[in-house]
A and B are shown apart, each in its own frame.
Chain A
């Protein structure tokens, strides 16, 4: 972003003093966007709730969300109630877990193992958030490296990298993720001293992080290419500025803006992908939980205790929706082209 464009958006009084940097301008714009601020608040509440998972499990739900509790009882309205209740319909065999109590214990009811769904959701939310966040970081870092190298160096390096991105891009996301998962999830990874067990969160982070690299790397490559050919880079070249300095001072700041615009939207996409992989039982592995695995647990109870599947799904929808709203706000605040569009409207 050159100084000329930021100057134009500033009031006359500010221009006399040292002009505000483009970051400050964008941040201020974001904070004025009521929807974006609302989305940030929702996300902060969800993150704090998930951080409080151990507190919730010990003090409010008073149960271990990773231990099956088939014979347990809780006190409801002065009466002692079984967590796994005998079926009254049919032959009266089998048991159904307790439904939502809407109280501290078993707020959303219990799953097939008699575990507190609400407590599991908080623990699972931690995993869903961690995976989608770090997968996003991984995607953006890899995409920035590949895209910048390809766009800035050009020539043969660019051709090879661009072809590689083409191949990965043409690969349907879920199929690539499934192929990678099936090979790694069953046994984990052992390479020399590195040993990643199959239930480690690193595996889904890596898989999800890698499959979306082309989606970000391709636009970044295009952006870097057009920047490299732009007049101000040519001017810098003519002045004898060395290439690494051009890369750091002129090109990377522009790429960073693109990455920031991509970040919330990628995280939303990653959260949906994580839940889908976990639902296919190739994401987060037991005994760990994520919102996707809890929906899978709830599939068996769908017609008897639907809350087990509905509640984590709602958590996903609210989080992803907040991320998408934040993404819209960030794009409007950071992307100068979006700025022009809004003015025209």
Chain B
């Protein structure tokens, strides 16, 4: 059991190293512009440029530059923004993390619940009208750009139908911390949660339906039928449990990817001050140190999350656990 974990962890470290090299190369070694000019932002004075060149070691060989950048990012954590003079980048990212986590957690709860319901109804009525309708709606959900869904949701809940009984409870755009006012936190996040969840409800519902239909071909389902079990018991106790394997492993990957940048568009549309919106604001002002930091930290989070999911998966699956 220990050996595969160690192997997976070393793989994780390798991928993290690879990503850091790729990010470094993209930001500092791409042809076209002077990297110190990129870091210093628009209209930087020659003194600032010289200072940047020195502190990032751009007058030294590449490996030294790489080490200096990594030191600024992870050891001293004193990377500063040049657009918003003197703002520390790393603390700003840390401060924004709870917002992103709130958004993704809530959306995840919604999409898991609704996708399971959708997949079960579709599989139970496979070939029938509810099945076809749900699968069509799922495909529509997958085909909609999330930022557009967010805009339309804003249009409906903030403007057109805001003064009706249906949506008068929706607070203005923005975020209230959970510790400050839990109920307002919840109310403000409901619409973003649903918006973000729509795509995944469609995706997971379709996958679960396919797995359930496949499970219904298996011999153990026929055995269950022969034993005289009720249809609902067959579905819940026998078919669903085996069908959730793909579902669970997909969930780990998508959850990690959402926290690590996938929720960016939703945060922008709903004005939620999470890590994604930080990246977006830095993007608008060409604030490279900021983007580099959010990209690096978010992708590292994704890599670590994926490794944790793999290890948990191996530990949960008796075939893998007892193989050694």
**Contacts from A to B (Cβ < 8 Å):** 163-164, 166-168, 170-176, 178-180, 182-184, 186-191, 268, 272, 275-276, 279-282, 292, 295, 298-299, 302-303, 306, 309-310, 313, 316-317, 320-321, 324-325, 341, 344-345
Contact = CB atoms under 8 A, between A and B. Distances in A.
B298 interface: yes
B31 A179 contact: no
B27 interface: yes
Contacts of A187: 32-33
B278 to A, nearest CB: 12
A334 B140 CA distance: 23
Nearest to B142: A324
Nearest to A272: B145
Contact of A179 (B23, B126, B144, B217): B23
Interface stretch (B64-72, B90-98, B184-192, B254-262): B254-262
A-B pairs, top 10 by smallest CB distance, nearest first, are: A167-B18, A313-B148, A320-B143, A321-B143, A303-B159, A172-B261, A175-B261, A175-B295, A170-B15, A179-B26
B159 A302 contact: yes
Contacts of A164: 18
A164 B282 CA distance: 28
B22 interface: yes
A218 B23 CA distance: 22
B279 interface: yes
Measured as residues with beta carbon below 8 angstroms from the partner, the interface class of chain B is 35 or more
Contact of A178 (B31, B217, B257, B279): B279
A178 B155 contact: no
B19 A295 contact: no
Contact of B295 (A168, A179, A189): A179
A184 B32 contact: yes
Contact of B262 (A172, A180, A280): A172
Contact of B144 (A170, A281, A317): A317
Contacts of A295: 145, 147-148, 151
B291 to A, nearest CB: 6
A344 B32 CA distance: 57
B306 interface: yes
Tell me the interface secondary structure of chain A in the complex: helix
Given A171-B19, A309-B148, A179 B291 contact: yes
Interface in B14-51: 14-15, 18-19, 22-23, 26-27, 30-33, 38
B284 interface: yes
Contacts of B155: 302-303, 306, 309-310
B32 A174 contact: no
Contacts of B291: 178-179, 182
8 contacts: A171-B299, A175-B261, A178-B295, A182-B283, A272-B145, A275-B147, A279-B145, A295-B148
Tell me the interface secondary structure of chain B in the complex: helix
B33 to A, nearest CB: 5
Given A175-B295, A179-B27, A317-B144, A170 B306 contact: yes
A229 to B, nearest CB: 22
Contacts of B23: 179
A167 B265 CA distance: 24
Nearest to B264: A174
A183 B26 contact: yes
A166 B18 contact: yes
Contacts of B283: 178, 182, 280-282
Contacts of B294: 175
Contacts of B126: 345
Contacts of B73: none
A324 B141 CA distance: 11
Contacts, number: 145
A215 B218 CA distance: 30
Given A187-B33, A313-B151, A175 B268 contact: no
Nearest to B256: A172
B58 interface: no
Contacts of A174: 261-262, 264-265
A281 B262 CA distance: 17
Given A163-B18, A178-B295, A276-B265, A170 B148 contact: no
Contacts of B114: none
B213 A345 contact: yes
A172 B260 CA distance: 7
B152 A313 contact: yes
B299 A175 contact: yes
B303 interface: yes
A161 to B, nearest CB: 13
Given A179-B26, A183-B30, A302 B139 contact: no
A160 to B, nearest CB: 11
Contacts of A279: 145, 147, 265
Given A179-B27, A344-B217, A190 B32 contact: yes
Contacts of B146: 276
A281 B126 CA distance: 43
Contacts of B139: 321, 324-325
B219 to A, nearest CB: 13
Contacts of B30: 183-184
B154 interface: yes
A169 to B, nearest CB: 9
A316 B151 contact: no
Contacts of B288: 182
B295 A167 contact: no
A187 B33 CA distance: 8
B298 A175 contact: yes
A298 B155 CA distance: 12
Interface in B214-247: 214, 217
B251 interface: no
